[in-house]
Amino acid sequence: MSNFIELLKAAVFGVVEGITEWLPISSTGHMLLLNQFLTMDVSTDFWDMFLVVIQLGAILAVCVIFFHQLNPFAPSKSGYEKRQTWTLWGKTIVACVPAAIIGIPLDDWMEEHLGSPFVIAAALIVYGIAFIVIENIREKTASRSLPGVGNGTLRAAPKHFAVSASTAEIATRSELADEGARVQTIEELDWKTAIGIGIFQVLSMVPGTSRSGSTIIGGLILGCSRTVAAEFTFYLAIPVMAGASALRLVKFFLKGNIFTGAETAILLTGCAVAFFVSLVCIRFLMGFVRKHDFKPFGWYRIVLGIAVIAYFGARMVL
């Protein structure tokens, strides 16, 4: 019975991982916060490893959904398209170098010193505000750059936005912000921009920041459309999360640990659930950003950050 309960807990963590890994709201932050209320009956070493390796399920979902785009050997691709795919892999790997150089040496220090709920809450709020500010700036810039927009006259909104005058205005400005982006497709993403996004990825080392959040913010600032910023974030996740998982597994085994049968079942359950939930979440996000901006995620982060501060602040007082 106890093993079944632990499997249910692993499934819950898998659901949270599958949702929060791809939405820019911090997977690690949510996992650490969930652990405050739902603690697994496992060793500290296993938990530290589980928290990272469960991401392998989420990675597999990216590989499945974007298999054609990432497969340089696809028979249906022309020679040019295959070279483009290899170039995309090159940009992805190079963009991961900054995080590897800085992240690997500081991994243990970050885990030890920056895992408190208040650090997580601060990161949630700061980057939530950043999303809102960046999106507002993009929309205002796009509105000023096009005739008939920004002076009280708006273009006709797309059909799926034609609900009310206020809704149409918001939708149109959101759409214009992406129309004015310098990088409209993954193929247009140059090496300099890819490396720049990789540098922003370093920010995600602080729990609560969100790896997808930091890279999406970087992509938006550097001139990418929301779709490109989100898609490249998914690609970056493959080497970064695979490397982080391998590192945690090595540390786990170097300490003399081995998987018990129960631990193996817990890890596989968490990864499997994270995989299936990620399939849904990735498709949702790609559809969402084609029609909407990231401000709802910014507001969510702010509200959650304030709630975390209030909760843990009250616990300290009481």
Distance CA 257, CA 145 (A): 60
Strands (E), the chain: none
Q: What is the pLDDT of residue 66?
A: 96
| Helix, strand, coil percent values for the chain (each to nearest 5) | 75, 0, 20
- pTM assigned to the model: 0.86
Burial tier of 267 (Cβ tally within 10 Å: 0-12, 13-18, 19+) = buried
**pLDDT per residue of the chain (318 residues) written in tens, 0 to 9:** 668 999 999 999 999 999 999 999 988 788 878 988 899 999 999 999 999 999 999 999 999 999 999 999 999 999 999 999 999 999 999 999 998 898 778 777 777 777 788 999 999 999 999 999 999 999 888 777 655 544 444 444 444 334 344 444 545 577 777 888 899 999 999 999 999 999 999 998 888 899 899 999 999 999 999 999 999 999 999 999 998 899 899 999 999 999 999 999 999 999 999 999 999 999 999 999 988 899 999 999 999 999 999 988 988 887
Which of 132, 229, 150, 216 lies closest to 182 in space, CA to CA?
229
Q: What is the pLDDT of residue 172?
A: 59
For 291, the 3-state DSSP assignment is coil
- Per-residue tokens: 306: 């304030």
